[in-house]
Amino acid sequence: MPRPIVFLSDFGLEDEFVGVCHGVLNRIAPDSRVIDLTHGVPAQDVLRGALMLAESIPYMPEDAVYLAVVDPGVGMARADLAVRTRSGNHLVGPDNGVLSLSWERLGGAERAVDIRSPEVTSPVVSSTFHGRDVFAPAAAHLATGMPIEVMGPRLDTGALVTVRVAEPHVRPGRVRAQVLDRDRFGNVQLNVRHRHLEAAALHRVRELELRISGRSRRLPRATAFGEVEEGQCAAIFDSRGWFALICNGGSAAEALGLAVGDGVVLLEPDAGG
Amino acid sequence: MPRPIVFLSDFGLEDEFVGVCHGVLNRIAPDSRVIDLTHGVPAQDVLRGALMLAESIPYMPEDAVYLAVVDPGVGMARADLAVRTRSGNHLVGPDNGVLSLSWERLGGAERAVDIRSPEVTSPVVSSTFHGRDVFAPAAAHLATGMPIEVMGPRLDTGALVTVRVAEPHVRPGRVRAQVLDRDRFGNVQLNVRHRHLEAAALHRVRELELRISGRSRRLPRATAFGEVEEGQCAAIFDSRGWFALICNGGSAAEALGLAVGDGVVLLEPDAGG
Amino acid sequence: MPRPIVFLSDFGLEDEFVGVCHGVLNRIAPDSRVIDLTHGVPAQDVLRGALMLAESIPYMPEDAVYLAVVDPGVGMARADLAVRTRSGNHLVGPDNGVLSLSWERLGGAERAVDIRSPEVTSPVVSSTFHGRDVFAPAAAHLATGMPIEVMGPRLDTGALVTVRVAEPHVRPGRVRAQVLDRDRFGNVQLNVRHRHLEAAALHRVRELELRISGRSRRLPRATAFGEVEEGQCAAIFDSRGWFALICNGGSAAEALGLAVGDGVVLLEPDAGG
């Protein structure tokens, strides 16, 4: 039975790029289901793409082939990766780290190749659209059972490019964090996990002090959007397990003046931090 | 044969929320086709989502399971609904009215449960993303034939939350209406059906007077976009059966200065209304 | 085996128009795969839709039925086309040229009909949404094997509406071009193919002079995005085979002040052109 293909990119949906890749997938693997994880990764934002892919894995079919194309270096020297993980999954995409958080979640990279076989790639490979000419064909062939070994020369899995989320700066009573993402609703995701709050002994504090660009404000903790009164903001663990700032009925990003990459300091109120 | 799943939400497509739900659906019901009705419902706009879903039913597969997630109250006390209609269809979504116009179209709600069974929901249910943790699993299980009765405690169908489109204010020669929606092309949909124009004896008038924010203008009736000259505006029954204001080659919302919720009075010209 | 359907439109994804058409396709051809090429064609831009469709054909399944709805004249006198090409493919859409570049690529139009059969169209055909009421049903019936001959009265294939990309003005050392498109990344596509540069003897020039609104600037040629230094711009053949202006890490459309339809003159630097 052909395996499903999970497809993520920064192509957007205004142009025909995603649709063209679907055509290529369908020609090679007409019976594979394609799950579009998202094509709204901000243009060329490898880390955001890597995070979205890796965090979605627990919800995807177990035998999925992953196709991730966020590729600012297309046409340059970097390898066109196909990776088999210890879990038996396959990942396809550029060797720029976009796949790296995913193979870590899938037991590590067991085998990697540079996709070069003319049995896989388009007869003519453009220098600008490897999604269409290299990655989609490779993902489709993997979905139909082609072994990764025949796709191209073997690569040293220890030498593949990786990315990493910046760790927040933690000390007792204080976490210096960064904005990782904001979603459609204006919710602001910080690079903070429960363990960071624990390490700072802030995990049981019912109200936090936030310092943003030198200004202070207080935010209560909440566990659901609905606990927060209309027009009020709060801090919550979001559905991806990140600590997030939200406002009921509005955009926290706008209310707090925060954009991706901005710094936020979390403190115990009146601790003088 | 597994049933198709019709999926509507306000998640947008920039983030991976929709894709994650597709993964969950695929894990449980890998052979069900998923039809994405739209994920562009304005954020948290329950009534708009309810309308889009209900009006699309005549065009959907007859045996469809409907999954609708517009859920400002996620994580709060409201029930997570699965509904069987007298037509034999199933609807899944929050008990906030987003499903109510649909069960009315499908013969009424015959049985409703609060989705609680651990055989249905995720092992850990987040307080912020029941689309992923409760509603998608329930829709997928219904599509594969699980009976609604085993999904959770029975609810009184008469006590479910409903929504309703505001009726226009009708008197002879005059309809006081409201803007329900505007689409991508800037067409403005009013809360007016043919029966309202009939009741006001305006259904045969070839030109209407419109009062918007105290200002008057005249608009001809039309039956097709192409009848309207380039740059001109007109009033027409749209493909959903609502009375709409359109401009050929431009946005009626911009030309007439109208947004969702605004008031519009329709009159017979020179009737002094 | 039911044939796949390739679907392009200018409906956008905010509304439920695309989803409703998917429902109609599924009711008639539940086993056909639908490939959404894009629904982001700029509203009512027939030429852009025609180009996107035609250029995607080499990547689509060979037995595909093409459904293209960019339809400013919906409800007016123009025909609702179903076309069989010499390649054996089928195309469905309005007779306004949106299909014409595609049937040219597929060997020419062998047979065309005006879709009128009540066995194909909706019981009630609206005057505003033939995508739902005429074109989607026709595409689905073709995908399941209905012969085009029974769908409606035959049309003279020589009298169908066609569109054409404006040719650039070429003379030795000089190409006067036009902006055809800009994509999500801000890359600017010109109406220039390799043969035009050859005819102007500009194909081997390593740097070009560009005149835009009377101002001059120089741009190097490149073959991959990554060759261009961060913040620099260059000219490149894009993945669709068009000559394009790009900037590494930014939008060429913004950097060069170019929009669709604008004129650009390409010259050999210091040729005095």
Name the residue type at position A91: L
Query: Hey, are the CB atoms on B19 and A35 less than 8 Å from each other?
Result: yes
Rounded mean pLDDT of A81-108?
98
Tell me: the pLDDT tens digits for C96-106? 999 999 999 99
Q: Calculate what percentage of chain A has a pLDDT beyond 90.
A: 85
Q: What pLDDT band is residue C212 in, cutting at 50, 70 and 90?
A: very high
pLDDT digits (tens, 9 = 90+) for C240-266: 899 999 998 789 999 999 999 999 999
Q: Percent helix, strand and coil across chain B, each rounded to 5?
A: 25, 30, 45
CB count, 10 Å around CB of A257? 11
Between the CA of residue C15 and those of A52, A115, A185, B243, C21, what are the distances in Å? 25, 39, 18, 17, 12
Regarding beta strands C65-69 and C34-38, do their DSSP bridges make them parallel or antiparallel, or are they unpaired?
unpaired
Name the residue ranges covered by the structural domains of chain C. 5-155, 169-267
pLDDT tens digits, C66-98: 999 999 888 788 999 999 999 999 999 999 999
Give the pLDDT mean for A146-174. 97
pLDDT tens track for B154-188: 999 999 999 999 999 999 999 999 999 998 889 99
- Whether B229 shows a pLDDT value over 90: the answer reads no
E strand spans, chain C: 5-9, 34-38, 65-69, 80-85, 90-94, 109-114, 154-155, 169-171, 174-182, 188-190, 207-212, 215-220, 233-237, 243-247, 263-267
Question: What chain A residue is nearest to B34 in terms of C-alpha separation?
Answer: A35
Residue with tokens 């995701």: A189
Give the model confidence (pLDDT) of B52-110 as tens digits.
Answer: 999 999 999 999 999 999 998 887 888 999 999 999 999 999 999 999 999 999 999 99
Collect all residues of chain A within an 8 Å Cβ-Cβ radius of residue B19.
Answer: 6, 8, 35-38, 56
> Which top CATH class is B169-267?
mainly beta
Contacts of B132 in chain A (CB under 8 A): 59, 239
**pLDDT of res. C220:** 95
Q: What pLDDT, on a 0 to 100 scale, did the predictor assign at position C273?
A: 47
pLDDT above 80 for C271: no
Q: Which of C269, C251, C265, C270 is nearest to C214 (CA)?
A: C265
> Listing from the earlier edge strand, what are the strands of the sheet with B154-155?
B34-38, B5-9, B65-69, B90-94, B80-85, B109-114, B154-155
pLDDT tens profile A16-39: 999 999 999 999 999 999 999 999
- For residue C66 the two structure tokens come to 């093409």
CA end-to-end span of chain C, whole Å?
A: 59
User: What's chain B's length in residues?
Assistant: 273
* Distance in angstroms (rounded) separating the CA atoms of residues C4 and A250: 42
The mean per-residue pLDDT over the stretch A192-198 comes to: 96
**What is the average pLDDT value for chain A, to the nearest integer?**
94
CB contact under 8 A, B61 and C30: yes
A5-155 carries CATH number 3.90.1010.10:
no
- The per-residue pLDDT for B230 is 83
Cβ contacts (< 8 Å) between B11 and chain A: which residues? 184
Question: Residue B217 in contact with residue B210, Cβ under 8 Å?
Answer: yes
> Which residue in A36, A38, A236 is closest to B15 by CB distance?
A38
Average pLDDT over residues C48-56: 96
Other CB atoms within 10 Å distance of the CB of residue B2:
16
Whether residue A223 has pLDDT greater than 90: no
Q: In this model, does residue C187 exceed pLDDT 90?
A: yes
Tokens encoding A46? 């490898």
All residues of chain A having their beta carbon less than 8 Å from the beta carbon of residue B43 are 184-185
Q: Note the pLDDT of residue B117.
A: 97
> Chain C, 157-216: which have a CB under 8 Å from a chain B CB?
none
- Would you call A128 and C225 a contact, using CB atoms and an 8 Å cutoff? yes
Q: How many CB atoms lie within 10 A of CB B262?
A: 17
Per-residue pLDDT, averaged over A238-248, amounts to: 92
Question: Position of tokens 């995409």?
Answer: A93
Provide the pLDDT for residue B224.
Answer: 84
pLDDT band at C231 (very low <50, low <70, confident <90, very high): confident
- Beta bridge partners of residue B179, listed in sequence order: B190
Query: Does residue C29 contact residue C11 with C-beta atoms inside 8 Å?
Result: no
| CA B19 distance to own-chain centroid | 21
Helix (H, G, I), strand (E, B) or coil at A164: coil
Interface test with A, best of B127, B134, B135 (most A CBs within 10 A): B127
Residue C194: is its pLDDT beyond 80?
yes
